[in-house]
Amino acid sequence: MVELATTVSGRVSLLGSNARDVESAVVYLEPLAAPRPVVTPPPVVTPPPVVAAPLAAPRDTVRVLWDAVRELRQTVAELREALRQVRAQFLGAPDARAATPPSSGANAATSPAMRALDSAAAPPPTGATPVNVPTGAPAGTPGSTVAAPRPAARVIPGTTMAMRQKTFEPHVRIVEAGGLVDYPNKDPFSHNVFSTTPGGAFDLGLYPRGESRGVVFRRTGAYAIYCNIHSKMSAFVVSVPSPYHTRPDADGRFSIANVPAGRYRLHVWHERAPEQVTTVTVGDRAVSDVAVTLDGRTAPSATHLNKFGQPYRAATRDAY
């Protein structure tokens, strides 16, 4: 079955003094689960009423009981006769009461039937393979077990956000949920990357030039990234729920290709505007009329605290 795929495109507008910074926006699609089919319960069938059988007369009841007793006595007699014959066959004695116990009788040691019983009842020797346990039998043979092949898990691609000249490069990085973001230090001094975003806080500690440490972003959302030493260093990692994401160009136009048919939530995020979400339906034709406006006129302050929740210490000189 060929899965239909098409392109979702449109334009993002950013209001406010930073309208030209629309390239910092992130546009991504969140697949919506298909609605579950409505299951109609089967009609309730009322069983017909059960009519009790009439009670037997007292004489009939006594006769039935006597017939049952006679059948039981006949069955017991037949079982006794069968048991006597089995004992006579296995022990070699005409009467079970006169037979020699199996542990000391000569017939018990030489009887083929007894040897067969002994070998069947004896535990398997050390190192023996129990019966009905597969031992690497080829596929298709009785007792063989063939594990069903598991579908290969899709590898979530990782990415990097380097630190160079006291700046995160790039300022905004997109990663699919479950992906790793590495932070290599390209400066001749140490950095301490951290985030206090609820649900995804982390602290990579202090490490020097040439080293790199990373974080796996398991939850979707936008994460503010800072350095605990340099207060002016800030960036954002946007963790998205699917591989269908992009960034607008300088004019705000965006395009996401190879989107399978279905229903999606289209998210548009920007660090200085509230996130906008709209629903789009993708079919066999391209979706090209998506228009989203972000209001950046009330952008929040860029001031932030260090990883201890305290203001950065004012430095008289910038040693590193």
Cis status of the peptide bond prior to 170, with omega within 30 of 0: yes
Boundary-marking domain end, from 186, 206, 240: 240
Q: What's the number of CA atoms in the CB half-sphere (13 Å) around residue 199?
A: 8
Boundary-marking domain end, from 240, 265, 294: 240
Q: Does 278 lie in the same domain as 235?
A: no
Q: Does 263 lie in the same domain as 220?
A: no
Region 178-189 average pLDDT: 97
17: containing domain: 1-25+247-310
Counting the structural domains of the chain, the total is: 3
Q: Does 259 lie in the same domain as 209?
A: no
The C-alpha atoms of residue 207 and residue 205 are separated, in whole angstroms, by: 6
Residue 193 lies in a domain: yes
The encoded tokens of residue 239 equal 């963790």
Residue 38 lies in a domain: no
What is the band of 69 on the pLDDT scale with cuts at 50, 70, 90? confident
* CA nearest to 12, candidates 256, 294, 296: 294
Q: 160-173 pLDDT, tens per residue?
A: 999 999 999 999 99
At residue 257, the 3 state secondary structure works out as: strand
Residue 32 lies in a domain: no
Residue 294 lies in a domain: yes
The C-alpha atoms of residue 13 and residue 320 are separated, in whole angstroms, by: 39
Name the CA dihedral angle for 99, 100, 105, 111, rounded to a multiple of 10 degrees.
20
Residue 42 lies in a domain: no
Q: Which residues are paired to 123 by β-bridges?
A: none
pTM: 0.64
Q: Degrees (nearest 5) of the Cα angle 89, 90, 95?
A: 60
The C-alpha atoms of residue 204 and residue 195 are separated, in whole angstroms, by: 9
Q: 17-62 pLDDT, tens per residue?
A: 777 799 999 999 999 986 555 556 666 666 666 666 555 555 567 7
